[in-house]
Amino acid sequence: MIQRIQSIYLLIVTLLLGSLFAFPLAELLSSDGQLFIFNFNGLSIENEAGMYLLTIPPVVLLVINILISFVTLFFYKKRVLQMRLNSFNIILLLGYVGLNYYYIHNFSKQLDGIVSYHVIAIFPLIAAIFTYLAIRAIGKDEALIRSMDRIR
């Protein structure tokens, strides 16, 4: 299972998306000098406990993306299903990026502030690239298996 390159790609996707739980995606500096941190689950004020504004849809999409990328690791015998789930995962990843951008953009307008993105904000896009590479590798495996069936 893990010796296949697509399994390594999917494991990298799972780790990249899992790291989004640990680090902030962006910082917002409001017009009055208050610093806000945008995490995976919403906006919080720096050095204060609790959330300032909660965002549930990105959290749900992130959990679904992580589950799909992890579960498809174990569908190595069902290559067509694995390719379809990964294609769906790419669409969800792009939706996750768009949803995060929407929330960050709206929060910056509400706070009349400046947005500073962290490097971790591009992890979902990198995960989408690795998912695409996994789809290509799965497709090559499927083509190889079908060619072997023709020879028999």
pLDDT at 54 over 60: yes
Q: Which residues pair with 114 in a beta bridge?
A: 29
Q: What is the DSSP letter of 102?
A: H
pLDDT at 152 over 70: no
Specify the pairing of strand 42-45 against strand 114-117.
Answer: unpaired
Which pLDDT band, with edges at 50, 70 and 90, does 67 fall under?
very high
Helix (H, G, I), strand (E, B) or coil at 22: coil
Mean of pLDDT over the chain: 87
Mean pLDDT confidence for 76-105 = 92
Which pLDDT band, with edges at 50, 70 and 90, does 50 fall under?
low
Which pLDDT band, with edges at 50, 70 and 90, does 1 fall under?
low
- Residue 81: closest CA among 72, 93, 89: 72
Per residue in 73-83, pLDDT (tens digit) is 888 888 889 99
Give the tokens for residue 106: 């709206």
Question: Apex CA 84: angle with CA 80 and CA 87, to 5°?
Answer: 140
Per residue in 14-33, pLDDT (tens digit) is 999 999 999 999 998 888 88
* pTM given for the model: 0.86
Residue 111 pLDDT: 84
The fraction of the chain above a pLDDT of 70, given in percent, is 94
